[in-house]
């Protein structure tokens, strides 16, 4: 039987401020990591009228956990 690791993701998305606080880093560091492609971003859908550049973006914690699992050679499954 394969071993199973059960993780609880406290929130599927976090604001830049919340992620920075969780990691103990500055918001500027979060923005820099995003610009370098090191953090996955979730952008809510727009209605076509909004300028996508002005829509608030979030850190995609689900994608971050999935990438960490993949790098660790683990299988990542979501269960609801």
Q: Domain residues for 40?
A: 13-71
Compute the distance between CA of residue 14 and CA of residue 60 in angstroms, rounded to an integer.
7
Q: What is the pTM of this model?
A: 0.83
Q: Considering the chain, what percentage of its residues have pLDDT values greater than 90?
A: 54
Average of per-residue pLDDT across 8-26: 94
* Residue 58 phi, psi (nearest 5): -135, 160
Compute the distance between CA of residue 60 and CA of residue 75 in angstroms, rounded to an integer.
18
In a domain? residue 35: yes
Weakest mean pLDDT among 9-13, 20-24, 59-63: 9-13
In a domain? residue 1: no
Domain count, the chain: 1
In a domain? residue 3: no
Model pLDDT, residue 9: 84
């Amino acid at each position: 039987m394969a071993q199973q690791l059960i993780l609880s993701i406290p929130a599927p998305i976090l604001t830049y401020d919340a992620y920075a606080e969780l990691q103990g880093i500055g918001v500027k560091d979060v923005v820099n990591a995003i610009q370098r492609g090191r953090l996955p971003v979730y952008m809510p859908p727009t209605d076509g009228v909004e300028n996508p550049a002005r829509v608030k973006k979030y850190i995609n914690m689900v994608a971050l956990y999935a990438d960490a699992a993949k790098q660790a050679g683990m299988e990542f499954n979501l269960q609801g």
